[in-house]
Structure 1
Amino acid sequence: MRHGPIPGSSGHVRPLTLLGDPLLATPAREVTGFGPLLARLVEDLFATMYAARGVGLAANQIGEGLRVFVYDCPDDEDRRHLGHLVNPRLVDVDGPAVRGPEGCLSLPGLEAGTERFDHAVLEGQDVDGRPRRVSGTGFFARCLQHEYDHLEGRLYVDRLDGWRRRRVLRQAGRTEWGRAAGA
């Protein structure tokens, strides 16, 4: 039985910020105001993430340079993790570094093998300013680290080196959106 409204059901789908936009390379600002504007942003993030068929989305991916992200992501045991974090801090990563396929809604249609730790712990706040701690393993840990990177002004391609990085950037340059962004 579902309690409360479905996340994103009252939100608006916003345009995605794509590779080449300076906002994606800029660390996001701390959220200081907890109220209706932040709640609206979280709803818009969920609506946009679902419309784009993603598993996570950071505020700078819809043009808002604030430290907020949402997720609806399974772990390796197919358990669903649904939520959001405001002003998150990555407090722990451990376990083996696992290379796995990673994509991004800001680089639509592309992916590359990217190393991430198998376990991640983040602390932050919810939309009302209450403390939250989120821990994940496997694919969910990858998602948490990926969204946290966005708030630090990094994309998964920034974690790639050599031929993997060149390949993804070359592929981006061949896309319509990549050519428009000068990728």
Structure 2
Amino acid sequence: MIREVLKYPDERLAIECDDIDEITDDIRQLAADMVETMYREDGIGLAAPQVGANCRLIVVDVSGPEKRESLMTFINPRLEPLGDEKVESEEGCLSVPALRAKVERHERVRLTARDLDGNEVCMDADGLLAICLQHEIDHLGGTLFIDRISRLKRSLYDAKVKKWLKARRSR
């Protein structure tokens, strides 16, 4: 089932998510819904809080949006940087429409998590996958990529959002 993607400035996007203690049918359904929603929105990653669920669950498929060959689902994901190297890349977000901005991230990371069967996952990532994992796991801590951009860019975007919200209310 396609779920609504919450948009900034929805306050639910700023909440730190709870760990998932048990992988239930509801969690599996949430993951399936998130995958369907991510693909429908042409995203390469989606975190549970973006669809209003306060739990540590992400789905990622960096083969997209053209292809859909590398779907990964992670429960209670944690990251640790591998080395001090950073990379700057342009990011966008399904919850932050009409904005793309350069964000600095770790070049390489180690992910530890569980899959939907409860199996432990440990993998090293670099490139687009490392960036996507950091972006999605940020969501689980209530952080959006716009929290990592310059104050000027952020204030310009905030002003634009206020204008959009005002226009919607006056309809």
Give the TM-score range, shorter chain.
0.7 to 0.9
Structure 1 residue 37: Cα displacement: 1.0
* Residue matched to 1:128: 117
AA partner of residue 114 (structure 1): V
Matched residues in 1 for 2:44 and 2:160: separation? 22
Q: Alpha-carbon deviations, 1:137-164, whole Å to 9, x = none?
A: 1111110000000001100011112223
TM-score by length of 2: 0.87
* Cα RMSD (Å): 2.3
* Secondary structure at the counterpart of residue 12 of structure 2: helix
TM-score by length of 1: 0.82
Structure 1 residue 38: Cα displacement: 1.1
* Secondary structure at the counterpart of residue 73 of structure 1: coil
AA partner of residue 172 (structure 1): V
Answering whether residue 103 of structure 2 is matched by residue 114 of structure 1, we say: yes
Native 8 Å contact 1:16 1:105 kept in 2: yes
Percentage of pairs with the same residue: 33
| Structure 1 residues without counterparts, runs of 5 or longer | 1-11
* Residue matched to 2:79: 90
Matched residues in 2 for 1:106 and 1:69: separation? 14
| Structure 2 residues without counterparts, runs of 5 or longer | none
The residue correspondences of 1:12-51 to structure 2 (distance < 5 A) are 12-51=1-40
Matched residues in 2 for 1:116 and 1:19: separation? 21
Matched residues in 2 for 1:123 and 1:106: separation? 25
Matched residues in 2 for 1:15 and 1:114: separation? 26
Native 8 Å contact 2:90 2:102 kept in 1: yes
Name the count of aligned residue pairs: 166
AA partner of residue 14 (structure 1): R
Q: Would the alpha carbon gap of residues 128 and 105 (structure 1) be closer, same or farther in structure 2, given more than 3 Å must change?
A: same
Structure 1 residue 95: Cα displacement: 4.9
